[in-house]
Amino acid sequence: MMPGLKLAAFVAVAIVVGMGGRADAHQPSEGFVVIEPPTPTGDGFALRARWDVALQDLARVMPLDADGDGRVLGSELAAAEPKLVAWARAGQSFATSTPCVVDVALAGVTTHLDGAYASFAWSGTCGPAPDGTLQIRQEAIFASDTGHRALVRIGGTSVVLRADAREARLSFVAPPSAFATFTTFVGEGVLHIWEGLDHVLFLLALLFPAVLRWRRDAASAGAWVPNEQLKPVVIEVLKVVTGFTVAHSITLVLATLGVVKMPSIVVETAIALSVALAALNNLRPIVDARWTVAFGLGLLHGFGFSGVLLELGLPDTARAFALVGFNLGVELGQMAIVLVAVPLAFAMRRTRFYRYGVLAAGSLAIAVLAFYWSAERSGLFSGS
Give me the tens of pLDDT residue by residue for the chain, a chain 384 residues long.
444 444 444 444 444 444 444 444 444 577 888 888 878 777 888 899 999 988 888 877 787 766 666 667 677 778 888 888 998 888 889 998 889 999 999 988 888 766 788 899 999 999 888 888 889 998 878 877 787 888 888 876 777 888 888 888 888 776 677 787 888 889 888 888 887 888 899 999 999 999 998 887 655 567 889 998 999 999 999 999 999 999 999 998 898 888 888 887 888 889 999 999 999 999 888 888 889 999 998 898 888 888 777 776 666 667 788 888 889 999 999 999 999 999 999 999 999 999 988 999 999 999 999 999 888 877 665 544
Note whether 280 and 367 are within 8 A (CB).
yes
pLDDT score recorded for residue 212 = 92
Among candidates 216, 86, 236, 57, which has minimal Cα distance to 147? 57
Q: Is 237 left (phi over 0), alpha (psi -120 to 50) or beta?
A: alpha
Q: How far apart are the first and last CA of the chain?
A: 40
What is the rounded distance in angstroms from the CA atom of residue 195 to the CA atom of residue 190? 9
Cβ neighbors of 136 (< 8 A, separation 6 or more) are: 33, 35, 92, 93, 94, 152, 161, 167, 168, 170
Note whether 153 and 35 are within 8 A (CB).
yes
Cβ neighbors of 383 (< 8 A, separation 6 or more) are: none
Among candidates 160, 101, 150, 88, which has minimal Cα distance to 127? 101
Note whether 164 and 304 are within 8 A (CB).
no
Q: What ranges do the domains of the chain cover?
A: 3-25+196-377, 30-176
What is the torsion angle, in degrees rounded to the nearest 10, for the CA atoms of residue 281, residue 284, residue 288 and residue 292? -10
Give residue 195's identity as a one-letter amino acid code: E
Cβ neighbors of 75 (< 8 A, separation 6 or more) are: none
